[in-house]
Amino acid sequence: MVTAIYCSVRSPPETALNGSVSPDAFTTTSWRRAITTELDRRRAAKMAKTPLAPPLSSSRLALVALLSATSVFFLWKSRRRLRVLLSPYSSMNPPKPSPRGKIIYASATGTSRSLAGRLSDCLRSHGLAFDLVDPRHYEPEDLPKEALVLIVASTWEEGRPPPDAQFLARWLAESAADFRVGSLLLAKCRFAVFGVGSKSYGDSFNAAAKDFSKWMRALGASEMAPVWEGDVDSGDVDEVFELWSRRIVALLKGEDSKKESGHSGSTVESVGFDESDEEVEEEVLEPVVVDMEDIAGKAPSRRSSVALANGWENGVRDMVTPVIRVNLEKQGYKIIGSHSGVKLCRWTKSQLRGRGGCYKHSFYGIESHRCMEATPSLACANKCVFCWRHHTNPVGKSWRWKMDNPLEIVDVAIDEHTKMIKQMKGVPGVKPERLSEGLSPRHCALSLVGEPIMYPEINTLVDELHRRHISTFLVTNAQFPDRIKMLKPITQLYVSVDAATKDSLKAIDRPLFGDFWERFLDSLKALRDKEQRTVYRLTLVKGWNAEDVEAYANLLGIGKPGLVEIKGVTYCGSSATSKLTMDNVPWHSDVKAFSEALAMKSHGEYEVACEHAHSCCVLLAKVDKFKIKGEWYTWIDYERFHELVASGKSFKTEDYMAPTPSWAVYGAEEGGFDPDQSRYRKERRHGAASLQT
């Protein structure tokens, strides 16, 4: 029928319509109207002879709808690619390059954004016009218009770019993989990339920066210089970035005559764990524009005292670089040797003034004014979201640094601690007798920062502390189970249990190890085999881990700790490295509710024993071990502990327990505050009241 109609339309009017229309009256409009009338007549005649088809079943309608929706989706998905192919950006009609270059930063914690801002200022000072671009507000399809693009990219989880730059990264990746786009899309663009990452993450080190470079080159962009890589753990990102910035300026102004051919796999790396980076550190100090081959160690290295000043000696580097040292000293640390530190705790200062001790005083009977907070390893294998050091300490998965003598560490730690105690003399409220006692520390909290058991001579250091009648409270972050197994008796051994599930542990602790969960569980199992006092330390973060009571209860059965400390996270102010706010800080009532729920989940194995309201902290204790005839025995007989250690014989938790005072017991009116101390309540005024005098 279609063919017949087509032929009739092509035929003379009088033939096509079988004489039903007069040739004299035929016009273009009337011809079309006549054809329409004839088609309607024939359709009606056919329908009169043919019965109507039955309506479609619901299943057929659903199938038709599904196929239609699928077609629409794929048409929408390919819209961007079709726009690129048909856009005026094709090679037949290239766009006019933008007169201003772009500096695009992919930043997670603010480091890359800060570096990009410095680069912008540097280029402006040399008369080079560049716009600073947040990838969240940049349309990737504008890239073909760009003539110059500089990218400063951080690497986020699993080698991906930060969330704010993932749309741009996805667009580049999809375009580079799409054969319809071709390899000339960015042919008019020159670019360079600087990566900001942590070498401790292994293969994913600066993966995002390398991917940006790969995708840009695949789309035809010309790379001005191979990817330069900064390692935040080495502490010299600023110096390496400064050199890269100078190189970019020289290339843009045509002052660098050396041609960079293609993409080089040997990128500039800041000092990390590999000894091959030694030449990098030396050449970085060159005050003029330095060629990349020289920095990579292909030029003769200059052995000088400069290397020693930057932490290198006999091919082994210091853990604490000059930059890290400055950052930690600003926070009040006293750096000991090349990898240890000591700091005066606020509770030490408080009890020197008779204003109360920390929760360890309430739970275990330590004298806070005689407690030294230290660590033999400032490095850690995690980058926790609630880290109160704001990640200014180094990180690592194994010991790759110069190692100091453990006896010297103890000597210097005590010396530095007593110096800080002496500086409290004359401070209003400091009691002379407490000050005198504070000059002879009797406790050492090996929990200052970092991972103490990473230090290879940790047992020797602990032995020396015990020899001096200094008790030890050692905290490990549950990533080194083999090191936990080889530990000698500790007065009290902690494992940080920051989350109860694999996903939440990864989100909160941000561990370096790929097998972090297996290491975590093995660390709990290693704790179970210890005969001395063991503790799970839980840090509750609202919105992150404070709802996982059931999962935490399951972990109790793995490590079977004698004690469980549950503490609300401490808010340490805003930081580029942490997204926590005051909304994530639980009230003491929240901590109490969680503790009571966890005790109930243990089916009587644990009960709530103590609390310290000021620290927002609660203690659970194993009933069959610490509750004798209805009384709690969570305190420690320190003299008895030292006698047991000196005897060289094996001993257990029950051998050095002491009764808990009534004021420290859970539910007491004092809330864990020692009545022999003077309660000092700071007056806090907010808003308009703070302006009144």
Between helix 166-177 and helix 207-218 the angle, nearest 10°, is 40
Residue with tokens 């997670």: 108
Which amino acid is present at 60?
R
146-150, 429-433, 447-451, 636-640: segment of lowest average pLDDT: 447-451
Pairing between β-strand 312-313 and β-strand 268-269 as defined by DSSP bridges: unpaired
Mean pLDDT of the chain: 79
Residue 182 binned pLDDT confidence (cut-offs 50, 70, 90): confident
Please indicate whether residue 608 or residue 205 has the higher confidence score (pLDDT).
Answer: 608
User: What pLDDT sits at residue 7?
Assistant: 40
Q: Return the number of other C-beta atoms located less than 10 Å from residue 173's C-beta.
A: 16
Q: Give the whole-angstrom CA distance, residue 578 versus residue 584.
A: 11
Asked if residue 280 lies in contact with residue 297, where contact means CB atoms within 8 angstroms, the answer is yes
Cβ-count burial of 193 within 10 angstroms (0-12 exposed, 13-18 middle, 19+ buried)? buried
**For 155, which DSSP code?**
-
- Distance between alpha carbon 33 and the CA centroid of its chain, in Å? 73
Q: Which of 664, 539, 666 is nearest to 606 (CA)?
A: 666
User: What pLDDT sits at residue 661?
Assistant: 97
67-76, 207-216, 349-358, 640-649: segment of lowest average pLDDT: 67-76
Residue 190 binned pLDDT confidence (cut-offs 50, 70, 90): very high
Asked if residue 140 lies in contact with residue 89, where contact means CB atoms within 8 angstroms, the answer is no
Question: What separation, in Å, do the N-terminal and C-terminal C-alpha atoms of the chain show?
Answer: 98
pLDDT digits (tens, 9 = 90+) for 622-658: 999 999 999 999 999 999 999 999 999 999 999 999 9
Residue 395 binned pLDDT confidence (cut-offs 50, 70, 90): confident
User: What pLDDT sits at residue 316?
Assistant: 73
Q: Return the number of other C-beta atoms located less than 10 Å from residue 121's C-beta.
A: 11
- Averaged pLDDT, 160-184: 86
Residue with tokens 């990640």: 391
User: What pLDDT sits at residue 215?
Assistant: 92
User: What pLDDT sits at residue 238?
Assistant: 83
- In sequence order, what are the residues at sequence separation of 6 or more whose Cβ sits closer than 8 angstroms to the Cβ of residue 234? 199, 270, 271, 272, 321
* Residue 104 dihedral angles phi and psi, to the nearest 5°: -105, 125
Which amino acid is present at 252?
L
- Averaged pLDDT, 176-204: 85
Q: Using the predicted structure, report yes or no on whether residue 482 has a pLDDT greater than 60.
A: yes
pLDDT digits (tens, 9 = 90+) for 5-23: 334 434 444 444 444 444 4
pLDDT digits (tens, 9 = 90+) for 531-587: 999 999 998 888 877 788 999 999 999 999 999 999 988 766 555 455 667 888 889
Segment (H or E) for 268:
strand 268-269
- Distance between alpha carbon 422 and the CA centroid of its chain, in Å? 38
How many angstroms separate the Cα of 495 from the Cα of each of 141, 174, 524, 590?
A: 50, 44, 7, 22
Q: Using the predicted structure, report yes or no on whether residue 314 has a pLDDT greater than 60.
A: no
- In sequence order, what are the residues at sequence separation of 6 or more whose Cβ sits closer than 8 angstroms to the Cβ of residue 401? 316, 317, 318, 319, 338, 339, 379
Q: Give the whole-angstrom CA distance, residue 243 versus residue 248.
A: 9
Residue 109 binned pLDDT confidence (cut-offs 50, 70, 90): confident
- In sequence order, what are the residues at sequence separation of 6 or more whose Cβ sits closer than 8 angstroms to the Cβ of residue 202? 512, 514
Residue 450 binned pLDDT confidence (cut-offs 50, 70, 90): confident
Q: Using the predicted structure, report yes or no on whether residue 161 has a pLDDT greater than 60.
A: yes
Asked if residue 154 lies in contact with residue 58, where contact means CB atoms within 8 angstroms, the answer is no
- Averaged pLDDT, 206-218: 92
Q: Return the number of other C-beta atoms located less than 10 Å from residue 117's C-beta.
A: 14
Please indicate whether residue 117 or residue 331 has the higher confidence score (pLDDT).
Answer: 117
Q: Using the predicted structure, report yes or no on whether residue 259 has a pLDDT greater than 70.
A: no
31-35, 119-123, 250-254, 411-415: segment of lowest average pLDDT: 31-35
Q: Which of 224, 172, 193, 171 is nearest to 116 (CA)?
A: 193
Cβ-count burial of 36 within 10 angstroms (0-12 exposed, 13-18 middle, 19+ buried)? exposed
Q: Which of 589, 666, 660, 583 is nearest to 628 (CA)?
A: 660
Residue 288 binned pLDDT confidence (cut-offs 50, 70, 90): very low
Q: Using the predicted structure, report yes or no on whether residue 230 has a pLDDT greater than 70.
A: yes
- In sequence order, what are the residues at sequence separation of 6 or more whose Cβ sits closer than 8 angstroms to the Cβ of residue 564? 535, 536, 538, 556, 598, 606, 619, 620, 621
User: Measured at the alpha carbon of residue 105, what is the angle toward residues 101 and 110, in degrees to the nearest 5?
Assistant: 145
Q: Using the predicted structure, report yes or no on whether residue 175 has a pLDDT greater than 90.
A: no
Q: Using the predicted structure, report yes or no on whether residue 89 has a pLDDT greater than 80.
A: no
User: What pLDDT sits at residue 358?
Assistant: 94
Q: What percent of the chain has pLDDT over 90?
A: 49
